[in-house]
Amino acid sequence: MAALARCRRDDVRRAVVVADARSRRRPPVCAAIARGALIVAVPSRPAPALNVGKVDHFARVPDGFAAALAEDIGRRVGPPVTFVLADARHTLRSGAADIAIGGLAFADDRALAYAPTAYTSGRGMALVLRHGTVHDWRDLAGASICVASGSRFARNAARRAHANVRAYDRPLDALLAFQAGECAALVDDELAIRKLLKQPDWAYYRRLPGALDPAPAYIATRGGDLASAVFIERTVRDWRRQRWLSTVRKDQATRLAFEMFNAQNDLYCH
């Protein structure tokens, strides 16, 4: 299956190269330009809460990282972005969205047109108790690892440690669960881990040696819309060349560290 997906991705990459010159004069996502809105399917998160308490999982907002990517694509295309908080693959197949940014792995699916360059970047790190019994990844075998749902590092963390992944709806919930002892380790973006370790309440934790590569994920458009796939491919390459994805990751890490700081202060006041 992996070899088939890799061959299909190479085929798409060659098709993108051939079609690049042809598509430069054709506007991408023609339907979006015609309707005056770019519809993007993204994952959802619970709406931010002002304190630590019962989270309203019915009030949903776009995932911050995916939303930032979608907004940049919207600026390049022209029309404003409208978010659809639904399954990325199904939403594209049904024609309810123009683009999907939802951690999609490359698959042999003719109903979708993938930009063949992955948008996932960075490295993941694991945190454990500073004076605990976990000293290496192998010590996590059979244990639980806290991650945010949709984490691009979860799969490789589970494989490396032979551990079980416990996914939480909010990234903040994964942090709080780890501190509450629900997991033996926390896995997140290295930028988030480094910011957390600067906070006094995280002095009781340390990083495990080594880093995790992200699982590759791709932005998809509707099948047959080669002009849009070419446009997205050029956009993703621009992001990588300009290191813009690192900027978005830093913004998300800063926001998460700030949410954790507020959560801990709220807990101490109750």
Q: What's this model's pTM, rounded to 2 decimal places?
A: 0.85
Asked if pLDDT for residue 21 goes beyond 60, the answer is: no
pLDDT one-digit tens code per residue, 134-177: 999 999 999 999 999 999 999 999 999 999 999 999 999 999 99
Q: CATH assignment of 124-213, given 3.30.360.10, 3.30.160.150, 3.40.190.10, 3.40.50.300?
A: 3.40.190.10
pLDDT of amino acid 122: 96
Same fold, 2-120+218-255 and 124-213: yes
Residue 4 has pLDDT above 50, yes or no: no
pLDDT of residue 17: 44
For residue 45, pLDDT over 50 is answered with yes
Tens of pLDDT along 59-116? 899 999 999 999 999 999 999 999 999 999 999 999 999 999 999 999 888 889 999 9
Task: Give the pLDDT confidence score for residue 226 in this predicted structure.
Answer: 87
Task: Provide the pLDDT for residue 70.
Answer: 98
Average of per-residue pLDDT across 18-46:
75
User: How many of the other CB atoms lie within 10 Å of CB of 148?
Assistant: 25
260's CB contacts (< 8 A; 6+ apart) are: 172, 175, 176, 196, 199
Residue 173 or residue 263, greater confidence: 173
pLDDT beyond 90 at 183: yes
pLDDT of residue 50: 52
Give the pLDDT confidence score for residue 264 in this predicted structure.
80
Question: Would you kindly state where each structural domain of the chain is located, as residue ranges?
Answer: 2-120+218-255, 124-213
* pLDDT 10s digits, 184-232: 999 999 999 999 999 999 999 999 999 999 999 999 999 888 889 999 9
Architecture of domain 2-120+218-255: 3-Layer(aba) Sandwich (3.40)
